[in-house]
Structure 1
């Protein structure tokens, strides 16, 4: 009788231990692995000022883009402070996925059509990966070129490209920085004043002034500027204004062109010697 009680007690103990072990195992299986929280976007606009930021269009979002660059302010009344010779860009950007978007625009500068692709490679994480990395590519088609000016003009002579790698870090809700290695290739170029392939290191920053205002600054240094250089490193300052469904950017720059190829490599102005251009970017989200 005593042995029977001992056996019954031992069986009950083993059964309880088995059930507990099963529950602990199931509990571990139900636990989700720790996931790093993604940091919010470092920039509110798709551009820092003129160069691309690491912000992406979300899946299904369509951005209608209007950009404008007036002429040289320093000419005063001769060109009515830039109103007489302005450049305009109209286009759209569509978020195919949360990590990939495409864009198309038409610009009055050289009647350029610009096709763009933007793709996210990594996200900045809170207490994790320190930066957001984005890839950005553009292809320009210069439709102003004609066989009257270039008798041997071929279709690929109209094309120019950029490859960029914006990398940003959000230090706080008020302050973000970005560095952007840039490669520019032109199929048609002036060998006296330009290089077929040009490399730049661009950088930009954003400082939040209030809930809806931020001050932005960007600069690009040309690594292999041509020997007979007539252009300058682009430097721009801008003010982001958030107004409900769109971000409005006011800016001043020494580069009037809006397309990336010309903006980075054909800046004609000098902040300390004339050639300052006022303009704006406006994005309307649908």
Structure 2
């Protein structure tokens, strides 16, 4: 565990300094902004979990999310590079307060469709942003060979979240994320059909274009087989897109899979390196 933490600290600090050198030539003079009506987060995700940020109206996002394998397996699996999961997705800003998304992940060949909608915006008269998020997922990897009586409805699972964030200042934002997951097909010895979770995440800006992010979810219906997802990451703003580097104990990219199917143990160094790349059109 000590070696893992040392590796993460060296990786993020070294990468941050390198990116600062690459980006400083395109930076312009900018005064410190303490306007709390601005978005609490720069990216649509804090790390893997959703943030309260929404796309602008008629804005398109292309998302590529990649999670390599378990770094603790060492050189045998080339520190996880031999075992990866990828998600491709699109997000559309239907209005200023509503966005729609569709994605597909290689892990369990999962398709997800979702909607994110702003309920309340933080301003001088209200202390927080409140955003709703709903997802329906289809696990297309399930087979009638293993489940002879499999129906289409068995492939479905659902997620409902309330995203509650506060932008304290230009450097620091915090978010609470109560969540509910329902699975039509589940293994009762290791998980429940209905699962309630509580998440906390935050962002701390260390330079004009770079921030350090972290998030943690507690699953109150966890039987012990799956772990509570814990992730740390770095946001890098590069003009037309935000690039996120991260380490997490949950290899899955899908919203429901990330929350309920984490298998890694941080104390044993069982973490997955990955990235999220957003391109705005």
- Give TM-score scaled by structure 1 length: 0.85
Partner of 2:37: 39
Offset from partner CA, 1:88-136 (integer Å, 9 cap, x none): 000100000010010001110100011010000000002x100000000
Q: Are 2:113 and 1:115 equivalent residues in the alignment?
A: yes
Unmatched 5+ residue regions in structure 1?
1-36
State how far apart, in whole Å, the 2-side matches of 1:251 and 1:60 are: 29
Question: CA RMSD for the aligned pairs?
Answer: 1.0
Partner of 2:58: 60
State how far apart, in whole Å, the 2-side matches of 1:160 and 1:218 are: 23
Shift, 1:161, TM fit: 0.9
Instruction: Give yes or no for contact 2:36–2:169 (8 Å, CA) kept in 1.
Output: no
Shift, 1:52, TM fit: 0.3
Shift, 1:38, TM fit: 7.1
Instruction: Give yes or no for contact 2:247–2:271 (8 Å, CA) kept in 1.
Output: yes
Partner of 1:104: 102
State how far apart, in whole Å, the 1-side matches of 2:189 and 2:76 are: 30
Count of aligned residue pairs for this structure pair? 247
Shift, 1:274, TM fit: 3.3
- Give TM-score scaled by structure 2 length: 0.86
Structure 1 residue matching 2:82: 3-state secondary structure: helix
| Larger radius of gyration between Structure 1 and Structure 2 | 1
Note the 1:87-166 alignment, pairs <5 A: 87-126=85-124, 128-166=125-163
Q: Are 2:276 and 1:276 equivalent residues in the alignment?
A: no
State how far apart, in whole Å, the 1-side matches of 2:52 and 2:85 are: 25
Q: Are 2:170 and 1:173 equivalent residues in the alignment?
A: yes
State how far apart, in whole Å, the 1-side matches of 2:196 and 2:177 are: 11
Instruction: Give yes or no for contact 2:163–2:175 (8 Å, CA) kept in 1.
Output: yes
State how far apart, in whole Å, the 2-side matches of 1:110 and 1:265 are: 14
Partner of 1:265: 260
State how far apart, in whole Å, the 1-side matches of 2:82 and 2:132 are: 36
Partner of 1:198: 195
Shift, 1:149, TM fit: 1.1
Instruction: Give yes or no for contact 2:242–2:279 (8 Å, CA) kept in 1.
Output: yes
Structure 2 residue matching 1:75: 3-state secondary structure: helix
Structure 2 residue matching 1:166: 3-state secondary structure: strand
Structure 2 residue matching 1:59: 3-state secondary structure: coil
Unmatched 5+ residue regions in structure 2?
1-34
Q: Are 2:222 and 1:231 equivalent residues in the alignment?
A: no
Structure 1 residue matching 2:268: 3-state secondary structure: coil
Structure 2 residue matching 1:77: 3-state secondary structure: helix
Structure 1 residue matching 2:53: 3-state secondary structure: coil
> Structure 1 stretches (4+) deviating beyond 2 angstroms?
none
